A and B are shown apart, each in its own frame.
Chain A
Amino acid sequence: MNPQPGADVTEALEPVATEEFVAAWQHRLPPLFGEARALQLVTLAWHLRQRDPALAAALADEAQPLLATSAPAVAGTALARLSLVRAEACLLRADFDAAGAQAQAALAVFMGRGEHAGCCDALMLAANIASDLGQYRERDAALARARDCAVAGGDGLRVALVHAALAYNAAAANDPNAETRWAAAMNDLIAIGIPVLTVVANDFRVAMAFKRGDHGPAIPWLRDQMAAAGRCGMVRKQISTAANLGLAFSMLNDHGAALDWAQQSLDMARRTGWPVAIGAGLVQMAPVLAKLDQPEAAQAMLDESIGVLAPLTGCFFYLPALSFSGLFALQRGDAQAALLAYAELERKSHGHYREQFLFSVHIGRARALSLLGRGLEAEQDALRALATAVANGELTAQIEVLQFLAQLHDRFELTPPLMAAATGAPLHYLGLALDVAAEIPGFTVPDHLLTLVAEQHAKVGDHARAYACARAAAAAREATHGREVRDRAMATQLRHEAERARAESEHLRRLADVEAKRAQALGSALSDLRAAQTELLRRNELQARMSAEREETLAFLAHDLRAPLTAIAAALSDTPREDTLLRTGRLAQRALTMTDRFLDIARLSRLPLSGRVSLDLASLIDEACETFERRAVQEGRTLEQALVFGVAVLGHREALTRAFCNLVDNALKFSRPGGQVDVLMAVTEQEAALIVTDDGAGMPDAAQQLLLRTGSDRTPAASGRLGLAIVAEVAKVHEARVVVEASGAGTRVELWLPRATANSP
């Protein structure tokens, strides 16, 4: 009966689906696109309509445009289904008109396409709307049509759902044939063991049990119903089932358990934000609190429920709230408030459900008038109440009103009814009440009724009958007491069973939690291990790269050092000449210089950014240029400087001086013979630059790449470029920008450094 997650989505639109299927569909959704996605979205929206109406609406909104390109047959059905999703959302927020319109629109589409399942679902929804509005004729008509559609479609599940709804309605309407007509069928549905059938069929069983006053057996059924509704995502049913559990425990005089369930129901309702569910929850909570001797809290609940339900035009649940409101007013002796409540109830119920509340209105008003000392008017309303109860076949209501009439005649001087001449009006009405009670199979006449009869017999001097009735009252009291004790014991047992089941499920949940935590801890440990492994790999890689660079550098160093050393060896192996010593000295110096430069690079790369201090740029440039001035003169080149003293930059003195020297050295080396090298400064708000230009042939690309650190080959191609490698390293550790422009007419190198601020060290 349940859809298969792998099945085609168009076939998946069963009335309800369990959590596993919804989860499977949600899992399938992400990679889908186009029409396949749209249909999956429709399915999900349909099954999330009560689980998460907001998400369902969002999915519906996403699906709608995707269906624009689908074939009309596919799109039409899917869009109609989305209308049903929206209709249900409207119903839940008590927008009955909109809900009805959407349901009707969907129904029209489904009917046009001969989609029996869709028609059935639209009609079931229409029935629910009518039910919330208390329009039972419309509800029953919709259900009858729904059954026809389900039968026409050969849809066994939907037929069963419609039958369950019809069965429940028969039970709720006191249909005397309900038991014979439906009981066996509902038991069969439950025996099938499908969650949704457990939910709907138990509605009937519970209603019948309540009618019989068998609240004890109803409790396990209600629990089954609760669990099954949870699995099927029937959230509204879960709320009402919890409320019914509260009612059952209340009837068994276990008010503590009753309060727990009523509270649970109300909590669930509040979480959904559905006004009808919240209002109904509050109405059901109020009498439970009243029985717990909490009249103020009960009244507060009732007031709140009226506040929630009153603005919902046409909402049926407003009427029981008004009825309770009148009852509570009577209980606290506030006749005026009771009259107001009953007047409002009469007005509101006048349209569709007059007969259902007519008895409440008349008996309530009669009691209020009696309180006000208006006996005659009270009697008239009581007689109307009696007529209504008789018309509706409500026997217990008849007993109630007859007892009240007896009390009324006892208290006020009223004209007795014609038939009561012999015994007097009170005994006449009480006798009628006892007659009615005798009609009810298994009914125990309440002790207070018998006490009342005894009192009346005593009043008219019939002491023998008075005694007999008093004894019957004592026996009834005992019987009632015995029944109350039994009820209480049953309730306690049921509660213990429930608690044991809850404890077991809690234990299982904790076990699952522990398992989950252990899995999480394992996962976390695994993830830590992976992170550590990644870090280790990263470090190894870094180490390997550094090692490779070191080896490269060492190889290069060895190669370049070899040249002057080989030359020294050659010079020394020659026949000693006058200039040999001079030459070897020069070569040794070259090797030494080169070694120093390597050491410089190694040292520079370790300089911290934080160690930079404020330095006068012009002073540093001046120092660097001074080193080369004599050489420039000796080589016949011009080294011009244009410096601006007093501009501070952030840096390491030694490193910057070294970099500046290398740039000037390089420029002199590659400028034309007799050419010129210019050393300038440029200053902006944030930066200051050293600019070195020469008039040589232009820096080769490889050298530029080395300077800009853009080359892939990190090894300086020639020892002459070691200086540029140092400049690049210095620029890096200073977060400096290097700009190089080179052409056949010369090279311009700019080294832009961050300027020091007033707060710099």
Chain B
Amino acid sequence: MPSFLGMDLRGHLDLLLLAALRQTGPVHGYALITALRDRSGGAFDLPEGTVYPALHRLERDGAVASAWDTGTARKRRVYTLTPAGEVALATKRTHFDAFVAGVRAVLQHRAVMVP
């Protein structure tokens, strides 16, 4: 199960993958996972095998598209964000921002109420 400091990342894995894919452009799985790890400063060190089922699911749902790249030494599947993926990314980001704002508001409120 993907986790960060013991927190379940499953609900945010799609958001992270879509965001990373948007930043990298068309990319294969290993490079995407490396980008995710590097851009999070090593915080999101996911069990790498879990990323492929997530990418397959996103492709099934139309958020990403993929094609074989045979121009390299090994056959590689290259993933691209689709227009529907852009929409999904914007929606998930909005939900995540609202979630973070809600958590922060509760924490700040508690900090005031409990000195």
To the question of whether A and B form a pair in one complex, the answer is: no
Chain A residues within 8 Å of B, Cβ to Cβ? none
Chain B positions within 8 Å of A, measured between CB atoms, are none
